[in-house]
Structure 1
Amino acid sequence: MAAWPAIYPPLAESDYGIVEGRLKASNVRSDGKEAILSILEPGTWFGEMSAITGWPYAHDVIALETAQIVRLPLEAFHSRMQSAAFAKSIAELLAQHTGLLYQMLEEATLYSTRARIARRLMHLARGDATLAVGNRSKIQVSQDTLAMMLGISRQTLSRT
């Protein structure tokens, strides 16, 4: 269970898009240790895998600040999936998310802690899951959050 209420329920009901604000996608172990998978920003959609498969959501999405979310109900999502253009967009979104997951797995298994920190900061500069074309000069992330994203302690992050 997450520290704050998740913004969407555990069973697939909708696809969601972020209009304003930042959210985090995370999981929490039974001992309370949190793994932050991604910071989601405006322009990011989430929930499409559960909308397609009917499986429960795999992680919590929690607002980090006041956020405005667009909800596409499950019935509307399935109706729009009949359109080749919409289905292609969803396939591209799923491919992008899968690519990010492979990249995270590669970084966790092949790179040093220092390189993982640098690479994650580069992802955050591009908007993490948003993958903006340009880099931003200021990244809003605490040491605790960055450490949770990397699966390391804040002390290890500070030392590195």
Structure 2
Amino acid sequence: MILRQPSSHRTAALLAGAVQAGVIAATLLSSTAARADCNVDMAALSAKRASASALLDANKKAHGGKLDPISACPQLRALAAAQGAMVSYMKQNKDWCSLPDQVVAQSSAAQAQISGFAVKACGMIAKIKQMQAQQAAAAAQQQAAQVPALKLPTGPL
């Protein structure tokens, strides 16, 4: 039985096939690693967002189904910041994480809505605090402006 040495063309083809298989395997592994990194990062960002949302839900529950405006303002800002961080990550890593455009667009729209609501709510709180300060100042002025009633002398003159 005579064994034939592979020809140089055949060897080159085998090596090229092996290299190509290695590249495909590396691509699949890196893609899997990228998705794993994205999943870990997105899970952390989602947990931050869920925590901020839970604080708002607790605020609402504690006040009979309505948000307490004063304590809700920082909570709304925290939720907007958490959503903003998630959207920023999604935009920066859209291709790397294989995120559909629709998911990124929906998250961006949600972030804009949350941020807008936080700005309006916190602006309203600032106006309420300003009005309360003005009322307190007016009450203090009115009290200071009142002339104390004159006491008439009593007893023998």
Greater fraction of residues in strand: 1
TM-score normalized by the length of structure 2: 0.30
TM-score normalized by the length of structure 1: 0.29
Rg larger for: 2
Greater fraction of residues in helix: 2
